[in-house]
């Protein structure tokens, strides 16, 4: 379905990207589980080769379920085009490889996702691509880091785990007109809570594994933006092969149909839990953009509709206490992801940074008592009661 911009968000989430009357008459987009698409005759081959007729030929180059999901995501983000990948990291690494060339330079903020930082600092160096890491929200440092060969600025907003918020308007005042592509990983914000493209951001990425899929049952990533930028990324994907399979494409379509409903619940519950934790005597500090105590609360209020379901907080500065607290939980499960219907909790020091020396981990701000909670869609009273009985 071609999207009418006047339609409401949930209407787009339900109908965009899908064929209203497909050849099977099914109301849901079919899982077209095929690696190869056959031709009726050689004339069809000729039309495909000459670009006269758009159709599918081989699964690595695209398939109908993927295309439907891409159309839906583009409509929700307000993007001209969307390219789906097998994971969020595949979306980021493939895009950067497609954009950057030897001798060029990338700037990335210091609290971007750990694996994204690893890729930029370690892998790109092997291809003679220089990387400069700057402090998140230090706009002077960002501007000073620009070099004649700078091609990309990459950041996230909100970030993990402290939920720092980039002032997108201020950011674009630095990079606009400089022939530098600005890429924003908006996984934690989602297209419902924040629309970076409207501020002039060139490319937006998401881990579709999180809020977009919403059910902790798929892996996927997406890159969105103008076709002139996404087309070379799509072509590079055809070479590198990080394609998304038909089945997770279908699961993504299904998850997106309830996207607005879920996000409203995540936003409401995240705010409630954050306020509860901030008032609890066993909690030292809470990091949530919806709280006035968050350093970027004013920016978040200005450019976000809601603040999501992730709440980060500090308990006693003791690893054993943090682990015992999590072990006492009865509803919230221990796990490193977010954005699903089930609430998940993680202790970054012993899960995400388990192999990082303590001194180095602390220098990165990953404290012994730091905990990240991803609130699901369960009844919020049950979640608060579960936390309450586990704090000791």
Sign of CA dihedral 214, 217, 221, 224: negative
The DSSP bridge partners found for residue 152 are 106, 181
Q: Would you state the pLDDT for residue 120?
A: 97
Confidence (pLDDT) at 353: 80
81 carries an active-site annotation: no
DSSP class of residue 198?
G
Tokens 């307000």 belong to which residue?
78
pLDDT > 70? residue 3: no
pLDDT of residue 2: 66
> Lowest mean pLDDT: which of 51-60, 183-192, 207-216?
51-60
pLDDT tens digits along 128-173? 999 999 999 999 999 999 999 999 999 999 999 999 999 999 999 9
pLDDT of residue 240: 95
Residue 215 and residue 251 in contact, taking contact as beta carbons nearer than 8 Å: yes
Is 113 one of the catalytic residues? yes
pLDDT of residue 1: 61
- Partners of residue 226 on adjacent β-strands: none
- What is the dihedral angle through the alpha carbons of 241, 247, 248, 250, rounded to the nearest 10 degrees? 120
* Catalytic residue, candidates 185, 202, 245, 368: 185
Between the alpha carbon of residue 284 and those of residues 112, 289, 315, 336, the distances in Å are 24, 17, 6, 22
Give the tokens for residue 313: 């907080």
For the segment 326-351, what is each residue's pLDDT rounded down to a tens digit?
999 999 999 999 999 999 999 999 98
What's the whole-number mean pLDDT along residues 221-249?
Answer: 97
The single residue of 12, 72, 81, 113 carrying the catalytic annotation is 113
Q: Is the pLDDT of residue 359 over 90?
A: no
Q: Tell me if residue 262 is catalytic.
A: no
Whether residue 186 contacts residue 194, with contact meaning beta carbons closer than 8 Å, is answered with yes
Question: Is 90 exceeded by the pLDDT of residue 363?
Answer: no
Q: What is the pLDDT of residue 317?
A: 93
Find out whether 231 and 47 touch, Cβ atoms under 8 Å: no
Confidence at residue 158, expressed as pLDDT on a 0 to 100 scale: 98
* Domains of the chain in sequence order: 9-256 (3.40.640.10), 259-390 (3.90.1150.10)
Average pLDDT over residues 185-208: 98
pTM of the model: 0.93
In sequence order, the 6+-apart residues with CB closer than 8 A to the CB of 311 are 270, 273, 274, 277, 286, 287, 288, 372, 373, 375
- Quick: pLDDT tens for 268-306: 999 999 999 999 999 999 999 999 999 999 999 999 999
What average pLDDT does the segment 306-315 reach? 98
Mean pLDDT value across residues 52-62:
87
Q: Is the pLDDT of residue 216 over 70?
A: yes
- Mean pLDDT across the chain: 95
Q: Is 128 a catalytic residue?
A: no
Predicted local distance difference test score (pLDDT) of residue 53 = 74
Buried b vs exposed e over 346-379: b needs ≥16 C-beta within 10 Å? bbbbeebbeebeeeebeeeebbbbbbbbbbbbbe
Q: How far is CA 116 from CA 28, 156, 180, 332, in A?
A: 35, 10, 19, 28
N- to C-terminal Cα distance for the chain?
53
45-68 burial code (b ≥16 CB/10 A, e <16): eeebeeeeeeebeebeebbbbbbb
Percent of the chain with pLDDT over 70: 99
Query: What is the mean predicted confidence (pLDDT) over 257-273?
Result: 98
Q: Locate 378 and state its tokens.
A: 């369960």
pLDDT value for 364: 81
pLDDT band at 54 (very low <50, low <70, confident <90, very high): confident
How much of the chain, in percent, has pLDDT values that exceed 90?
89
Task: Tally Cβ neighbours within 10 Å of residue 299.
Answer: 20
pLDDT at 272: 98
Cβ-contact 31, 65 below 8 angstroms: yes
- Per residue in 71-128, pLDDT (tens digit) is 999 999 999 999 999 999 999 999 999 999 999 999 999 999 999 999 999 999 999 9
Catalytic residue among 72, 151, 195, 210: 210
């Amino acid at each position: 379905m071609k999207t009418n911009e006047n339609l409401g968000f949930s209407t787009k989430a339900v109908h965009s990207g899908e064929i209203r009357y497909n050849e099977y008459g099914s109301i849901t987009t079919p899982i077209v589980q095929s690696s190869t698409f056959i031709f009726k005759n050689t004339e069809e081959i000729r039309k495909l080769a000459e670009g006269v007729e758009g159709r599918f030929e081989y699964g690595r180059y695209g398939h109908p379920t993927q295309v439907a999901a891409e159309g839906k995501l583009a409509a929700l983000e307000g993007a001209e085009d969307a390219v789906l990948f097998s994971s969020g990291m595949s979306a980021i690494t493939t895009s950067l490889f497609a954009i950057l060339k030897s001798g060029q330079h990338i700037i990335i903020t210091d609290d971007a996702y750990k694996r994204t930082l690893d890729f930029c600092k370690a892998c790109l160096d092997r291809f003679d691509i220089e990387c400069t890491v700057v402090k998140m929200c230090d706009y002077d440092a960002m501007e000073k880091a620009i070099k004649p060969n700078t091609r990309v600025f990459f950041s996230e907003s909100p970030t993990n785990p402290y939920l720092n918020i980039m002032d997108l308007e201020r950011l674009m005042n630095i990079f606009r007109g400089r022939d530098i592509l600005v890429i924003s990983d908006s996984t934690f914000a989602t297209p419902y809570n924040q629309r970076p493209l409207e501020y002039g951001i060139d490319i937006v990425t998401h881990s579709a594994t999180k809020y977009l899929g919403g059910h902790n049952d798929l892996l996927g990533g997406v890159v969105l933006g103008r076709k002139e930028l996404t087309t070379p990324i799509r072509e590079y994907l055809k070479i590198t092969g990080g394609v998304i399979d038909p089945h997770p494409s279908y699961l993504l379509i299904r998850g997106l149909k309830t996207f607005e409903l879920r996000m409203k619940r995540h936003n409401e519950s995240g705010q409630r839990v954050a306020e509860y934790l901030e008032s609890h005597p066993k909690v030292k500090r809470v990091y949530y953009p919806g709280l006035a105590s968050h350093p970027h609360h004013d920016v978040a209020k200005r450019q976000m509709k809601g603040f999501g379901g992730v709440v980060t907080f500090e308990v006693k500065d003791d690893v054993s206490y943090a682990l015992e607290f999590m072990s006492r939980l009865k509803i919230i499960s221990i796990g490193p992801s977010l954005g699903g219907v089930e609430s998940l909790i993680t202790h970054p020091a012993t899960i995400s940074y388990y192999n990082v020396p303590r001194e180095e981990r602390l220098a990165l701000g990953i404290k012994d008592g730091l905990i990240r909670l991803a609130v699901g869609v369960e009844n919020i009273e049950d979640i608060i009661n579960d936390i309450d009985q586990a704090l000791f």
